[in-house]
Chain A
């Protein structure tokens, strides 16, 4: 079956521009996560969505970052006024039942801010 799909796979943007990253989770998965993976760093939690509950935004590094999940399915991560330190691979994952189930990751969006 189809896995987690992320688009675009690569994005190069100029410092100060806004970017939107998209995630299509596996159908039927109620939980959706965004993580960030930087060179030399581990995976950093950003945000978590579960069904209709309020999202856990505790990992968002600044107010330039926001995310939404429409209709309990597709999610968009938006970064406003991008900075060079935002350059990283942004990974989306979904799971059937939140932390009780294995996470399925997409291939990520590699963001480069020039």
Chain B
């Protein structure tokens, strides 16, 4: 089955700096890669996703890149703010079905 590795497990950045989280996946058939943000005491919430026919996608301060050849994808957060502090999860899925395989998560702390 699919295996998703996520690094780093914790990330501390100064407000205004950029944060980068990287994930690798094992199944070359995966072609949907969402990113979720989980705030304390809440369920994960989708923040951005990318499909295999796209190499990069951007939404305001967040962007995701995908390298299908190397089987890795990354989340980039620019101009970080204290409200970006949360746990972030990457995930991978194949075309059929909605079964997601998640990475282990990254706890991001933005220091004011």
Asked if A and B are interacting partners, one says no
Tell me the A residues contacting B by CB distance below 8 Å: none
